[in-house]
Amino acid sequence: MAARAFAIRRGGPGFVAAALVAAVILGPVAAVLWRAGGGGWPGPADWAALRFTLTQATLSTLISVALAVPAARALARRRFVGRRLLITALGAPFILPVIVAVLGLLAVFGRAGTLNAALDAAGLPTVQIYGLHGVVLAHVFFNLPLATRIILQGWQSIPAERFRLAASLGMNAGQVMRHLEWPMLRAVVPGALMVIFAICLSSFAVALTLGGGPRATTVELAIYQAFRFDFDLGRAAVLACIQLALVTMAAIVALRVAQTGGFGAGLDRSLRRFDAETPALRLLDGTVLLLVALFLLTPMVAIVLRGGGAVLDLPGSVWRAAAVSLAVAAASTALALALALPMALAALRRPMIEAVALLGIAASPLVIGVGLFVLINPWTDPTRLALAVTALVNAVMALPFALRVMTPQLIDIRCDFGRLCDSLGMSPRDQLRLVILPRLRRQIGFAAGLAAALSIGDLGVIALFADPEIATLPLQILRLMGAYRMTDAAGAGLLLLVLSLTVFWLLDQGGRADADA
């Protein structure tokens, strides 16, 4: 009973926030439908695009999460110098603009990449990255870090006392897995699957560039065709709706399957894993971490090498764009948190609220952009609102990640302290201030870091609204590339990588200030 009271009192603002988010996403889609005067039925090519999209998204999601479990376990069980730095660096692929990351990936796995050079030197046949497997590889590269972080949070939510107890009972790693880690994974993995599926579903440039041709046509490309080629707004909107429906279904399944942890409260002591201190497990974890780091960081090194020469000589407009991007990121992060916190609290009572947030990443950026344009245009010149709209859309896009990071922890807090709060008769405000926020600090920091970094790296909708005078950094990178300036673009890409990671690191560390984990 008390646990419910804990949630109900916080419900109101959460539902308002959810309604706002739904309006930001569904409003533009509805506007496009309205402007089109009705829907258009997708053709056979569109259905083929849908099939390919589902196949690649499912494969990418399953592989990302399957690899993330051992990686997160290794990070949770081991303490070593540079561990935090590694965790931050591993997150880098996720926050890069697609084209920068793809070029980094190709420097390693491409036809002229280091892998093929090495294979060739060793007299072995070279490998071809283009095709479905290339799309999946790239999506794993992008999403493995996120999956690892989400699952790592799950591990960290198991109180250290449980592991101590397990150790004093003489449990080995297998038994710890069965009694402690498996229930945690059952609670955490469906959510990770859901978020990554949504990301992969709306992926566009990655799928196209690495897909090797029109076989790899995704729904988003079909939307492009409908909009640019045929100016069939109705069909574009219907395709966008199909995308949204798919994600909603995936979310409903995932949120039903996900179970709450219920490990009980601990004293938030630092974690020590007695069960994992065998040489074999050390070797296993070491190998996993080495491979994951190699896979994720080699392309990053390539980006640093490509851009290193140019980064200091970048034209002033690139630095100005960087400043604009930081300002947009600040606004977008504040907004994302302001929406995420009440929604996460409301999700305690109505888990399905998270499905609303998920729409943000599944929605077609093109349709959202066009819809916002249709909505804004009668009132004012959309170009004037370019930055505000970009900040808003970036915030909404970051929301699903923020929620996924906060929700499991909130559920634990409720289980552990809800009754106590109630018996003490604490007001909702005091609950928030004294119980929830201090315990959610790490998640808030991580979510803020993610929101800021994503906002810096994401092109968002600004390309549709671009003001020649004010560009964000990703837009400026695109413009540099469009003007043949590939070296400067590589330098700007590196600048973006450094900015995103620094901002992410600062916010993420801020959240864990004195927490040792």
Partner 1 sequence: MKYLALAAGLFATTTAVAETPTLTIYTYDSFVSDWGPGPAVEEAFEKTCECDLQFVGAGDGASLLARLRLEGARTDADIVLGLDTGLTAAAAETGLFTPHSVSAEYDLPIAWDDPLFVPFDWGYFAFVADAQFDAPGNFRELADSDTSIVIQDPRSSTPGLGLLMWVKTAYGDEAEEIWAGLSDNIVTVTKGWSEAYGLFQEGESDMVLSYTTSPAYHIIAEDDRSKTAVPFEEGHYMQIEVAGKLAGTEQPELADAFLKFMTSDTFQSIIPTTNWMYPAIMPEAGLPDAFDTLIEPEKSLLVPAEKAVELRDQALEEWLRALSQ
Site residues, partner 1 (CB under 8 A): 35, 45, 48, 99, 102-103, 106-107, 110-112, 130, 204-205, 208-215, 221, 224-225, 227-229, 231, 315, 317, 331, 370, 373-374, 377-378, 380-381, 383-385, 388, 463-464, 466-468, 471, 478-486, 489
Q: How far is the CB of 360 from partner 1 (least distance, A)?
A: 21
Q: Give the residue with the Cβ less far from partner 1, 381 or 430.
A: 381
Q: Give the residue with the Cβ less far from partner 1, 23 or 45.
A: 45
Q: How far is the CB of 58 from partner 1 (least distance, A)?
A: 20
Alpha-carbon gap, residue 486 to 109, rounded angstroms? 20
Q: Give the residue with the Cβ less far from partner 1, 409 or 455.
A: 455
Q: How far is the CB of 11 from partner 1 (least distance, A)?
A: 27
Q: Give the residue with the Cβ less far from partner 1, 224 or 263.
A: 224
Q: How far is the CB of 241 from partner 1 (least distance, A)?
A: 19
Q: Give the residue with the Cβ less far from partner 1, 279 or 468.
A: 468
Q: Give the residue with the Cβ less far from partner 1, 68 or 106.
A: 106
Q: Give the residue with the Cβ less far from partner 1, 425 or 468.
A: 468
Alpha helices (runs of H) in 78-181, residue ranges in sequence order? 83-90, 92-95, 98-109, 114-121, 132-157, 160-168, 173-176
How would DSSP label each residue in 191-255? HHHHHHHHHHHT--HHHHHHH-SGGG--HHHHHHIIIIIS--HHHHHHHHHHHHHHHHHHHHHHH
Q: How far is the CB of 387 from partner 1 (least distance, A)?
A: 9
Closest to 102 (Cα-Cα) out of 511, 481, 407: 481
Q: How far is the CB of 496 from partner 1 (least distance, A)?
A: 15
Distances (CA, A) of 196 to 26, 142, 199, 471: 21, 10, 5, 29
Alpha-carbon gap, residue 308 to 317, rounded angstroms? 18
Q: How far is the CB of 465 from partner 1 (least distance, A)?
A: 8
Q: Give the residue with the Cβ less far from partner 1, 129 or 454.
A: 129
Alpha-carbon gap, residue 352 to 309, rounded angstroms? 49
Report residue 387 as tokens.
């930055």
Q: How far is the CB of 31 from partner 1 (least distance, A)?
A: 11
Residue whose tokens read 């280091």: 114
Q: How far is the CB of 213 from partner 1 (least distance, A)?
A: 5
SS3 470: coil
Q: Give the residue with the Cβ less far from partner 1, 304 or 331.
A: 331
Q: How far is the CB of 428 from partner 1 (least distance, A)?
A: 28
Q: How far is the CB of 291 from partner 1 (least distance, A)?
A: 25
Alpha-carbon gap, residue 517 to 512, rounded angstroms? 8
Distances (CA, A) of 489 to 102, 307, 439, 481: 13, 8, 41, 6
Q: If 0-12 CB within 10 Å is exposed, 13-18 middle and 19+ buried, where does residue 41 land?
A: exposed
Q: Give the residue with the Cβ less far from partner 1, 14 or 211.
A: 211
Q: Give the residue with the Cβ less far from partner 1, 218 or 431.
A: 218
Alpha-carbon gap, residue 139 to 291, rounded angstroms? 17
Closest to 25 (Cα-Cα) out of 293, 362, 290: 362
SS3 171: coil
290 CB neighbour count, 10 Å cutoff: 11
Question: What are the start-end ranges of the E strands in 288-407?
Answer: none
CB 267 within 8 A of CB 161: yes
Q: How far is the CB of 491 from partner 1 (least distance, A)?
A: 14
Q: How far is the CB of 467 from partner 1 (least distance, A)?
A: 8
Q: Give the residue with the Cβ less far from partner 1, 39 or 315.
A: 315
Q: Give the HSE-up count for residue 200: Cα atoms under 13 Å, Cβ half-sphere.
A: 34
Q: Give the residue with the Cβ less far from partner 1, 303 or 355.
A: 303
Residue type for position 256: R
Alpha-carbon gap, residue 189 to 150, rounded angstroms? 8
Closest to 115 (Cα-Cα) out of 106, 93, 67: 106
318 CB neighbour count, 10 Å cutoff: 23
Residue whose tokens read 């996460």: 344
Closest to 358 (Cα-Cα) out of 391, 390, 404, 392: 404
